[in-house]
Amino acid sequence: MIRFFDLLFSFLGLLILSPILIILFIIGYFDTGLPIFYQERVGKNLKPFNLLKFRSMHVNAPSVATHLVSSNLITNFGGILRKYKLDELPQLWNVLIGDMSLVGPRPNLFNQTELIMERKSRGVYCIRPGITGLAQIKKIDMSNPQLLAQTDFQMIRDLSTFYYFKYIFLTLFGKGFGDRVVNQ
């Protein structure tokens, strides 16, 4: 049932938000020259996929977890994108094609070995990664791999249609957040 909702909401989201996506793409083009950011992430069953986002950092920013990146690498427009979670909108395409779900553990990088071990030991990779989930609602980011993996496991264990919608609504109304960056 969740996959049905993922398909429906991602399709409708892309369709309804397409004018906004186009405007953000154009502004992003003038901001960095490369408005879409592709990054290989760990997917379901540890299979790689390319996560899509609007670029919020300078083109030469290192490919590491966000909490390890200095805030001075974020562009002015990128700061706006992040504040309102607009940088995540292209991930609706990842949901539509089946790489991600709207709700699931946030996909990590392959170089986050401690998090991979923690998640692997708890079976977190048995489902598609998501745009939002329990960890985002509880403001737990990838800087604490053990707590994040425990929270992801709890979400997967208890996930139902009710919680699916609860996490989406809480995120839409400002409860969820992305990974923190280091202020400098």
Q: Does residue 184 fall inside a structural domain?
A: no
| pLDDT tier for residue 184 given thresholds of 50, 70 and 90 | very low
In this structure, the dihedral spanned by the alpha carbons of residues 138, 130, 147 and 62, taken in order and rounded to 10 degrees, is -110
Q: How many residues does the chain have?
A: 184
Tokens of 46: 């540890």
Domain range spanning residue 56? 2-172
Q: Does residue 33 fall inside a structural domain?
A: yes
Q: Does residue 148 fall inside a structural domain?
A: yes
Per-residue model confidence (pLDDT) at position 176: 55
Q: Does residue 181 fall inside a structural domain?
A: no
Cα 21 vs. chain centroid, distance in angstroms?
17
pTM above 0.95, yes or no: no
Domain count for the chain: 1
- What b/e string do you get for 150-181 counting C-beta neighbours within 10 Å, with b at 16 or more? bbbbebbeebeeeebeebbeebeeeebbbeeb
Q: Give whichever of 24-28, 73-77, 176-180 has the largest mean pLDDT.
A: 24-28
Residue 68 confidence (pLDDT) above 80:
no
Q: Which of 10, 37, 52 is nearest to 168 (CA)?
A: 10
Per-residue model confidence (pLDDT) at position 72: 86
Check if the beta carbon of residue 116 is closer than 8 Å to that of residue 30: no
Residue range 35-59, pLDDT digits in tens: 999 999 999 999 999 999 999 999 8
Q: What percent of the chain has pLDDT over 90?
A: 80
Q: Does residue 182 fall inside a structural domain?
A: no
